[in-house]
């Protein structure tokens, strides 16, 4: 060790002797338990380095720095000796286990706990495959969003009553930053970055400041869809939605459009799907045989303008799939709050 060659500090403790004695004890430690006890003792306050440190106040000031350095080096040397002994003891233990009579190298290892994909992730992946096969790009957007993209650019100014339907969590006192209440803000972000024609989907987490119950959660998933092109019509929207349902439920599902109001689409619709679980009414469809699945509509010209797209030249449709609810339908989950509960008893079923 380098400190052995350095000018010796006069202390009441001799570092050479301390180190040699300690090393001999470490080398003699018979097992890991003994080594651990020794480590605690040697590296603690009353160990060799600790003793040197404790003697520092009694030394002349010009010797104190060197004594501190000696203590550190001693400690490092002891740590190295302990680590080397630990490796040797561990290898010896392994060796003796291997050569013991009841060691059977042909036995299978203990089974590993396997994780699984979250049901939302499963459905998102399926939908991503489906939509990319139809030429859609997958987009992402920030969960902490500017009020501009979440509301204003979507034709929802500050005093608009539609803000009440999506009460949000404000993130700064000025109210410029919000937790996004829907995936629709990515519509305008997409328009700013992509040249029409384009098609995109945006799966993601959204947040609402509202009371929770079996079908409402403060944090849930949506998937936005946006298509902008020449002469895009409601017919294209219906075609895309039918393809979506065929992909999710594996067969054709009847749909209907009802008028729906969202400031960022005109006309706007609520799309209902014929209940995939019954023909004459059940608990899932509340005995109506229809399930309210997703709001959608033709992109409002003001929104195209917010995104820098000329509404005289381009039209588009958009939809906002309640992904959490679709996952519930798909797997027969009766309470949306299970999804993000982190409860393994729930998650292990998938």
* Footprint on this chain of ligand FA5 (rule: CB under 6 A): 166, 182, 184, 208, 210, 216-217, 220, 222, 224, 262, 265, 268, 294-297, 318-320, 322, 324-325, 336
| Strands 137-138, 198-207: pairing kind | parallel
Question: What's the closest the beta carbon of residue 100 comes to ligand FA5, in angstroms?
Answer: 58
Nearer to ligand FA5, 74 or 186 (CB): 186
- DSSP secondary structure, 259-272, as one string: E---TTEEEEEEEE
User: Going by DSSP bridges, is the β-strand pair 219-229/198-207 parallel, antiparallel, or unpaired?
Assistant: antiparallel
CB of 211 to ligand FA5, least distance (A): 9
Is the Cβ of residue 62 or residue 164 nearer to ligand FA5 in the bound state? Answer: 164
Q: Which tokens is 94 given?
A: 């392994």
Give the position of tokens 């820098």.
308
Judged by beta carbon, residue 29 or residue 191, the one nearer ligand FA5 is: 191
CB of 145 to ligand FA5, least distance (A): 12
> What residue is closest to ligand FA5 based on CB?
322
Cβ at position 179, least distance to ligand FA5 in Å: 13
Identify the helix (H) or strand (E) that includes residue 223: strand 219-229
CA torsion, points 101, 107, 110, 112, in degrees to nearest 10?
Answer: 150
Does residue 332 sit in helix, strand or coil?
coil
43 close to 75: Cβ distance less than 8 angstroms: yes
> C-alpha angle with apex 104: 101 to 108, nearest 5 degrees?
160
Q: Which is nearer to ligand FA5, 71 or 188 (CB)?
A: 188
Q: Which CB sits closer to ligand FA5, 39 or 217?
A: 217
**Alpha-carbon span 310 to 68, nearest angstrom:** 74
Closer of 196 and 295 to ligand FA5 (Cβ): 295
Nearer to ligand FA5, 32 or 340 (CB): 340
The residue among 315 and 324 lying less far from ligand FA5, judged by its C-beta, is 324
Write phi, then psi, for 282 (nearest 5 degrees): -150, -175
Rounded to whole angstroms, the Cα distance separating 37 from 56 reads: 26
User: Following DSSP, what letter does each residue of 13-60 receive, concatenated?
Assistant: S-HHHHHHHHHHHHHH--SHHHHHHHHHHHTSTTSHHHHHHHHGGGS-
The CB-of-278 to ligand FA5 minimum distance in angstroms stands at 20
In the complex, the smallest distance separating the C-beta of residue 120 from ligand FA5, rounded to whole angstroms, is: 11
Q: With respect to ligand FA5, which residue has the nearer C-beta, 13 or 166?
A: 166
Q: How far is the CB of 348 from ligand FA5 (least distance, A)?
A: 23
> For the chain, how many helices (H) and strands (E)?
13, 9
Closest approach of ligand FA5 to the CB of residue 241, in Å: 12
Q: Give CA–CA dist 105/50, Å, rounded.
A: 46
The least distance separating ligand FA5 from the CB of residue 342, rounded to whole angstroms, comes to 17
Separation of alpha carbons 241 and 326, rounded Å = 13
């Amino acid at each position: 060790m380098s400190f052995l060659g350095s000018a010796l500090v006069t202390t009441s403790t001799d570092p050479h002797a301390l180190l040699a004695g300690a090393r001999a004890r470490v080398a003699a430690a018979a097992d890991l338990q003994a080594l651990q006890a020794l480590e605690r003792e040697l590296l603690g306050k009353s160990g060799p380095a600790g003793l040197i440190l404790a003697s520092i106040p009694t030394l002349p000031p010009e010797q104190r720095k060197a004594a501190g350095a000696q203590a550190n080096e001693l400690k490092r040397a002891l740590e190295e000796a302990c680590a080397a002994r630990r490796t040797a003891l561990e290898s010896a233990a392994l060796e003796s286990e291997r050569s013991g009579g009841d060691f059977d190298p042909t036995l299978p290892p203990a089974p590993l706990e396997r994780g699984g994909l979250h049901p939302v992730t499963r459905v998102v992946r399926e939908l991503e495959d489906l939509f990319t096969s139809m030429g859609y790009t997958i987009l992402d957007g920030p969960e902490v969003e500017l009020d501009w993209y979440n509301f204003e650019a979507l034709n929802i100014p500050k005093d608009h009553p539609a803000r009440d339907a999506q009460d949000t969590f404000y993130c700064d006192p000025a109210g410029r930053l919000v937790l996004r209440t829907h995936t629709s803000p990515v519509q305008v972000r997409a328009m700013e970055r992509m040249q029409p024609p384009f098609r995109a989907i945006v799966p993601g987490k959204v947040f609402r400041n509202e009371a929770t119950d079996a079908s409402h959660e403060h944090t849930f998933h949506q998937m936005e869809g946006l298509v902008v092109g020449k002469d895009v019509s409601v017919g294209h929207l219906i075609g895309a939605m039918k393809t979506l349902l065929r992909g999710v439920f594996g067969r054709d599902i009847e749909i209907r459009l009802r008028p729906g109001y969202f400031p960022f689409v005109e006309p706007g619709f609520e799309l209902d799907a014929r209940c995939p679980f019954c023909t004459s009414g059940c608990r899932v469809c509340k005995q109506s045989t229809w399930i309210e699945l997703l709001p959608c509509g033709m992109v409002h010209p003001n929104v195209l303008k917010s995104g820098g797209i000329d509404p005289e030249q381009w039209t588009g449709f958009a939809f906002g799939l309640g992904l959490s609810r679709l996952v519930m339908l798909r797997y027969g989950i009766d309470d949306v709050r299970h999804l993000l509960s982190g409860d393994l008893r729930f998650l292990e079923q998938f």
